[in-house]
Chains A and B, each alone.
Chain A
Amino acid sequence: MLPEGLRTPSVVFDLEWSSPFAYTCNACSRCCYGKAILVGPYEILRLARNRGLTTTAFLAAHVEGGGVLLRVRPDGGCVFLTERGCGVHADRPLACRLYPLGRHIDAEGRERFGHLPPHPETAGVYGRDGTVGGYLSAQGVEPYFAAAARYADLYQRMLALLASLADGDAEAGAATGPTEGPATPWLDVDATVEAYCLERGLPLPATVEETVAVHIRAVDAWLDRLAAGRPAA
Chain B
Amino acid sequence: MDGTSEATRRDALKLAAAVAAFGTALGFRAIGAEAQPPGAATQQKVIKGERTELKFLKIQRLEIKLYQEGKFVQGYVVPSSVHKFFRPGEQLELKFFRDGKYMADPLK
**Contact between chains at B23 and A155 (CB < 8 Å):** yes
Check if B15 is an interface residue, CB within 8 A of chain A.
yes
- B7-37 interface mask toward A, CB cutoff 8 Å, 1 = contact, 0 = none? 1111111111111111111111011111001
The 10 closest A-B pairs by CB, nearest first: A102-B44, A34-B52, A166-B12, A107-B39, A174-B16, A7-B32, A5-B49, A170-B16, A40-B25, A174-B17
**Contact between chains at A102 and B43 (CB < 8 Å):** yes
**Contact between chains at A36 and B25 (CB < 8 Å):** no
Stretch of A15-23, A64-72, A125-133 on the interface side: A64-72
The residue on A at minimum CB distance from B22 is A155
**Separation in Å of the B46 CB from the closest CB of chain A?**
4
A148 — which chain B residues lie within 8 A by C-beta?
26-27, 41, 43
The residue on A at minimum CB distance from B46 is A36
Which of A146-201 touch B at CB < 8 Å? 148, 151-152, 154-156, 158-159, 161-162, 165-166, 170-171, 173-175, 177, 182-184, 186-187
Q: Can you list 30 A-B contacts (CB < 8 A)?
A: A1-B24, A2-B24, A8-B31, A8-B44, A9-B44, A39-B25, A40-B26, A66-B24, A68-B21, A68-B24, A102-B42, A103-B42, A105-B40, A107-B38, A107-B40, A148-B26, A148-B41, A155-B23, A162-B19, A165-B8, A166-B15, A170-B12, A170-B16, A171-B20, A174-B16, A174-B17, A183-B18, A184-B14, A219-B18, A232-B11
Residues of B within 8 A of A (CB): 7-28, 30-34, 37-53, 55-56, 89
Of A68, A170, A231, the residue contacting B7 (CB under 8 A) is A231
**Separation in Å of the A141 CB from the closest CB of chain B?**
10
